[in-house]
Amino acid sequence: MELYRKTAAELSGLLRKKEVTACEILDDTLARIDAVEPRIDAFLSVTAEAARAKAREVDEKLAKGEAVGALAGIPVGIKDNICTKGLRTTCASKMLENFIPPYNATVVDKLNAADAVIPGKLNLDEFAMGGSCENSYFKPTKNPWDTERVPGGSSGGSAASVAACEVPLSLGSDTGGSVRCPAGLCGVVGLKPTYGAVSRFGLVAFASSLDQIGPFGRTVEDVALLFGAICGADLPHDATSKDYHFPGMDADLKGLRVGIPREYFGSGVSEENKAAVLKAVDMLRDAGAVPVEISLPSTDYALSAYYIISSAEASSNLARYDGVKYGYPGDRKGTLNDLYLSARSEGFGPEVKRRIMLGTYVLSSGYYDAYYKRAKMLQRMIAREFTDAFEKCDVIATPTTPSTAFKLGEKTSDPLEMYASDICTVTVNIAGLPGVSVPCGFDQKGLPIGMQLIGPKFSEAKLLGVAKHYETAVGGFAVKEL
Amino acid sequence: MNQDYEVIIGLEIHAELCTKTKIFCGCKNAFGAEVNTLCCPVCMGLPGTLPVLNKQVVDYAVKMGHALNCSINRVSKNDRKNYFYPDLPKAYQISQFDVPLCEHGYLDVLMDGDVRRIGITRIHIEEDAGKLIHDDSFDGTLADYNRCGVPLIEIVSEPDLRSAEEAKAYMETITNILLYLGISDAKMQEGSVRADVNVSVRSRGQKEFGTRTEMKNVNSFGAVYRAIQYEAQRQIEVVSGGGVIEQETRRWDDAKGKNYVLRTKEDAQDYRYFPDPDLLTFEISEAHVQELKASIPELPVAKALRYVKEYGLLPVDAQLLASNRARSEFFDSCVATGKCDKKLICNWMIGDIAKILNERRIEITDTALTKESLTDMIALIEKGTISNTAAKTVLDVIIEKDVSPAEVVEEKGLAQISDSDALLTLVDEVLAQNAKAVADYKGGKTNVVGFLVGQCMKASKGKGNPAILREMLLSAIDKL
């Protein structure tokens, strides 16, 4: 039985009918990881021992007829910037190469409570900064659809592991598109929840006002299942978390107005990507939805505002890595300044350093008003435009990325071109909205194209409902044979 | 100090608040624990951890705001102050930048009975940093993170203080208020109140302020006084010698009685303040602000002024009595019994009782003394039943045990002897033994009679009535 090909919902059914055990699911997962990892490189660590203990616990509960959690026995991979107690959490950085957190992220506690099994930690761009997963200190992850190409980033390991059927589900984090972009490039479903819907406690901060943990799966139903297990208030640990309960997918599509923002279908986006999204919208129309053309005029400034705000926050969030208490220790023979200099020069990769310098600059006295303050004004403008747009439509459909997966090394020499791959996704973070990427076909090279659906705050039920309708209409999403 | 110059002083006082837990995590807020035992991943700034604001801190700061007549910003926020130092685990301090919780207030300070009004610029909340330990036995620096995240308020005064004496009185008044409100232990020796002192000088009559220097972490009233005296003198010498004061931060070394340049203006740090995205803007309801305002007790300065006006106490006595909340409240309750003279109560409170409390390092509430026992005792003095000397013996008993002073007098036989016959022998004896004093008296040194009364009191073991003894002594000497 090729368990690894099954969805979380299917595995859950088999487990509850006692046709498989959690240990069998895990064995199959670990075998699959062994088989494809040499080509994919999605995992930074495989935590077989801890996973086996959890799988046994689930099997024992089932054998005794005890109640089990919603994700019982389901393998869920975790992006390696989400803290796991007693398990190395590296952020794909030399700085945290040997960092073992003494606490779990709230989402990890929730997964444990839901009886999920965590088989390992997944690769990312260092500290989640990047759009290709090539900024990992350890290794680049490859796109299962073409292993010479990138999986997208920063949650490249999370997307690729699901696309390669190593795990049915994974968690990533999304600051400017880091869940949705790799989901789009790897042909899987990825949700960036409303800011505050999922606790950020234990997610190593990149840009605190934009970061949000989100689920990946091969079906919309699986993503909904995982999202339902991780969302909700965490007020003792995260002041920005909101008391939100996911009510399940909203199945009603009738009269749904789908906004098509013209700014997302401009010259920066490939013809193939545009065409695939418009074709998908046509299918939604056939199912009863009404397309509406809308405009989000500030979109052009969004990328600049995003890189200012996110870098500013990053420069402060990453200042704690000074070599003093944990992490890369730096040179301890000289002065305090020598220690700081060596720890931070040697511990961080070039992209992280670039963002720290950019962020430090925009917060400096004399530049604060010109950059940070203006970016925050733009943020309010962009958020307002979305609010206005949602008067005219219920969801917005756009391409997830401007193009399909590019080749490894193709954009590494040009940071600005790399930044431009976030062009369709950053506005959602800036406005704190939910967005989901679903596969909507392939380009001529056979590479997946993603459609992004955006909704008002806490409209995940509607968004996932629309995505599910589309998935059903196209007869399900393709899975890559490896 | 050269009288041609005027000294301008502003104080930034940091006070640790005595909340149960720290400002952004659940760690216990306490002093003196084993190093690195009162800290957690949150206050140590480990990756992925997040701060959650302790509401008690906001309440305490708002109380101080009311006490210092500030306007309260009901919508406020936390900002990050970014700088690198090993005692600051996140490399930023969560503080408040452009919207402090309280601002535009004032504090009336009593200087020799006169009221001096000092402007309060702002009060904001922030977290304390850890402590670095330098130990001779270890070639390096150790860090103790217990203090990380201990809540602080920073109280910034206007540059309204004009002398070291004023600055000291201001800081004492602030400390008394902190104690009155019960929001800080205000223990200088434990560093729970510290001051940054800004000093400048200008020629008398000059309108513009001179360039100021700042001295960080001055840790006692005495040190504040000495640091200002030193710095003002230094600046006056520089300016009168034709020199220029540089804007700089200086370190006050109280042991050496000198200060040194720590940072010049060129090295001034850019803290890159920005709103902390982990903490949302917070709002306090008007009702809650009013509730906190209603909870503010009568404060020391108002109380001292009332004691002078209503009870006729001397300003210096009133101020001393009012400076301690527990003692002044005990005094108020004694006055309310109406059983004895208010001034006498005050004298006992700031005299013998204060002496005992200070010696034993306890508070009035730690003793068995009650408003009834103290006022009964004083009433016995007023009635002439016991002498002041005997009352001291009574006090020693009633401070330990809640018994009626009359019983103590009875039990110990402390009642005054006013019976002339009983005292007569005693007077004769004393006069016989003190022939020189008698001669002095006759020679015009009439004040020796006090000495002779004292001798008689001693001989009567404190039981004689000094007024009667005096009369008897005088008539006996006349007859000699």
> Is A320 in contact with B279 (Cβ distance < 8 A)?
no
> Is A340 in contact with B84 (Cβ distance < 8 A)?
yes
Confidence check: pLDDT of B410 > 90: no
CATH number at residue A136: 3.90.1300.10
Pick the CATH number of B420-479 from 3.90.1150.10, 1.20.120.430, 3.40.50.620, 1.10.10.410: 1.10.10.410
Helix (H) or strand (E) holding B6: strand B5-16
CA distance B263 to B80: 22
By the CB < 8 Å criterion, does A453 face chain B? Answer: no
pLDDT tens digits, B212-242:
999 998 989 999 999 999 999 999 999 999 9
Closest partner residue to B277 (CB to CB) among A99, A313, A326 is A313
The pLDDT assigned to A1 comes to 67
CB A452 within 8 A of CB A400: yes
The pLDDT assigned to B2 comes to 77
CA distance A295 to A385: 8
Please identify which residue in the block is written with the tokens 């090993």: B86
> Is B272 in contact with A103 (Cβ distance < 8 A)?
no
Q: How far is B82 from chain A (nearest CA, A)?
A: 7
CA distance B365 to A9: 67
C-alpha A384: how far from its chain's center? 25
Confidence check: pLDDT of B260 > 70: yes
By the CB < 8 Å criterion, does A247 face chain B? Answer: no
Number of structural domains in chain A: 1
The Cα-based distances of A3 to A6, A9, A20, A245 in angstroms read 5, 12, 9, 31
> Is A103 in contact with B49 (Cβ distance < 8 A)?
yes
CB-CB neighbors (< 8 A) of B94 in chain A: none
Question: For residue A260, what are its two tokens?
Answer: 């098509």
Please identify which residue in the block is written with the tokens 């409170």: B349
Whether residue A79 lies in the annotated active site: yes
Is residue A291 assigned to a domain? no
By the CB < 8 Å criterion, does B270 face chain A? Answer: yes
The pLDDT assigned to A368 comes to 95
CA distance B324 to B329: 8
Tell me A143's DSSP state.
B
Confidence check: pLDDT of B420 > 80: no
Closest partner residue to B48 (CB to CB) among A105, A236, A364 is A105
Tally Cβ neighbours within 10 Å of residue B420. 13
CA distance A430 to A307: 10
One-letter identity of residue B184? S
Confidence check: pLDDT of A132 > 70: yes
Under DSSP, is residue A207 helix (H, G, I), strand (E, B) or coil? coil
Is residue A417 assigned to a domain? no
By the CB < 8 Å criterion, does A438 face chain B? Answer: no
By the CB < 8 Å criterion, does A364 face chain B? Answer: yes
Whether residue A154 lies in the annotated active site: yes
The pLDDT assigned to B255 comes to 92
**Which residue ranges make up each domain of chain B?**
9-197+276-292, 300-412, 420-479
Helix axes B55-67, B286-294, angle to 10 degrees: 60
pLDDT tens digits, B351-361:
999 999 999 99
Confidence check: pLDDT of B427 > 90: no
HSE on the CB side for B198, CA within 13 Å?
A: 16
Report phi then psi at B393, rounded to 5: -65, -40
CB-CB neighbors (< 8 A) of B47 in chain A: 83, 89, 91, 96, 99, 101, 204-205, 320
Q: Which residues of A115-135 are buried (b: 16+ CB within 10 A; e: fewer)?
A: bbbbbbbbbbbbbbbbbbbbb
The Cα-based distances of B352 to A131, B125, B337 in angstroms read 77, 40, 21
Least confident span in A355-359, A419-423, B223-227, B274-278:
A419-423
Under DSSP, is residue B250 helix (H, G, I), strand (E, B) or coil? strand
Under DSSP, is residue B26 helix (H, G, I), strand (E, B) or coil? coil
Report phi then psi at A423, rounded to 5: -55, -35
Q: Where are the beta strands (DSSP E) in B90-166?
A: 92-95, 102-111, 114-127, 131-134, 141-144, 151-157
> Is A320 in contact with B45 (Cβ distance < 8 A)?
yes
By the CB < 8 Å criterion, does A5 face chain B? Answer: no
Tell me B33's DSSP state.
P
Q: State which residues form the domain around A77.
A: 3-230
CA distance A128 to A80: 9
Q: How far is B94 from chain A (nearest CA, A)?
A: 11
CB A39 within 8 A of CB A408: no
Least confident span in A84-93, A165-174, B396-405:
B396-405
Whether residue A54 lies in the annotated active site: no
CB-CB neighbors (< 8 A) of A202 in chain B: 48-49
Confidence check: pLDDT of A135 > 90: yes
Beta bridge partners of A396: A259, A454
CB-CB neighbors (< 8 A) of A362 in chain B: none
Q: How far is A81 from chain B (nearest CA, A)?
A: 8
The number of residues making up chain A comes to: 482
Interface test with A, best of B36, B39, B49 (most A CBs within 10 A): B49
The pLDDT assigned to B377 comes to 94
Interface test with B, best of A95, A100, A171, A316 (most B CBs within 10 A): A316
Whole-complex ipTM: 0.96
Closest partner residue to A322 (CB to CB) among B53, B91, B272 is B91
CA distance A394 to A339: 53
Burial of A144 (0-12, 13-18, 19+ CB in 10 A): buried
- HEC string of B284-323 equals CCHHHHHHHHHCCCCCHHHHHHHHHHHHCCCHHHHHHHHC
Task: Tell me how many degrees the CA angle A359-A362-A364 measures, rounded to the nearest 5.
Answer: 105
Closest partner residue to A319 (CB to CB) among B84, B270, B276 is B84
Is residue A337 assigned to a domain? no
CB-CB neighbors (< 8 A) of B139 in chain A: none
By the CB < 8 Å criterion, does A237 face chain B? Answer: yes
By the CB < 8 Å criterion, does A31 face chain B? Answer: no
The arithmetic mean of pLDDT across residues A118-132, rounded, is 98
Closest partner residue to B84 (CB to CB) among A99, A207, A322 is A322
> Is B86 in contact with A105 (Cβ distance < 8 A)?
no
What region does B307 belong to: left with phi over 0, alpha with psi -120 to 50, or beta?
alpha
The arithmetic mean of pLDDT across residues B413-425, rounded, is 75
By the CB < 8 Å criterion, does B51 face chain A? Answer: yes
The pLDDT assigned to B412 comes to 82
Give the global pTM.
Answer: 0.91
Instruction: List the one residue out of A390, A384, A401 whose CA is nearest residue A454.
Output: A390
Is residue A298 assigned to a domain? no
Confidence check: pLDDT of B265 > 90: no
CB-CB neighbors (< 8 A) of A377 in chain B: none
CB A136 within 8 A of CB A182: no
Closest chain A residue to B81, measured at CA? A316
Question: For residue A218, what are its two tokens?
Answer: 């091969």
By the CB < 8 Å criterion, does B279 face chain A? Answer: yes
The arithmetic mean of pLDDT across residues B103-113, rounded, is 93
Question: How many A-B residue pairs are in contact by the CB < 8 A criterion?
Answer: 100
C-alpha B424: how far from its chain's center? 50
Confidence check: pLDDT of B190 > 90: no
The arithmetic mean of pLDDT across residues A430-455, rounded, is 98
Rg (CA), chain B: 29
From the candidates A155, A170, A178, A421, which is the catalytic residue?
A178
What are the start-end ranges of the H helices in B73-201? 164-181
The Cα-based distances of B369 to B315, B330, B355, B360, B389 in angstroms read 26, 10, 14, 15, 18
Report phi then psi at B453, rounded to 5: -60, -45
The Cα-based distances of A115 to A67, A170, B51, B134 in angstroms read 10, 14, 28, 48
Beta bridge partners of B12: B156, B196
One-letter identity of residue A22? A
Closest partner residue to A316 (CB to CB) among B46, B82, B143 is B82
Confidence check: pLDDT of A223 > 90: yes
> Is A101 in contact with B44 (Cβ distance < 8 A)?
no
Closest partner residue to B48 (CB to CB) among A205, A239, A368 is A205
By the CB < 8 Å criterion, does B182 face chain A? Answer: no
pLDDT tens digits, A377-406:
999 999 999 999 999 999 999 999 999 999
CB-CB neighbors (< 8 A) of B90 in chain A: 319-320
Question: For residue A51, what are its two tokens?
Answer: 């996973």
Closest chain A residue to B277, measured at CA? A209
C-alpha B363: how far from its chain's center? 14
Task: Tell me how many degrees the CA angle B267-B269-B274 measures, rounded to the nearest 5.
Answer: 165
By the CB < 8 Å criterion, does A370 face chain B? Answer: no
Task: Tell me how many degrees the CA angle A210-A211-A216 measures, rounded to the nearest 5.
Answer: 130
Question: For residue A347, what are its two tokens?
Answer: 């511990």
For residue B419, name the pLDDT band (cuts at 50, 70, 90).
Answer: low
The Cα-based distances of A57 to A105, A229, B409, B425 in angstroms read 21, 19, 78, 99
Is residue A127 assigned to a domain? yes
Helix (H) or strand (E) holding B262: strand B258-264
The arithmetic mean of pLDDT across residues A33-49, rounded, is 98
% of chain A residues with pLDDT over 90: 94
Confidence check: pLDDT of B447 > 80: yes
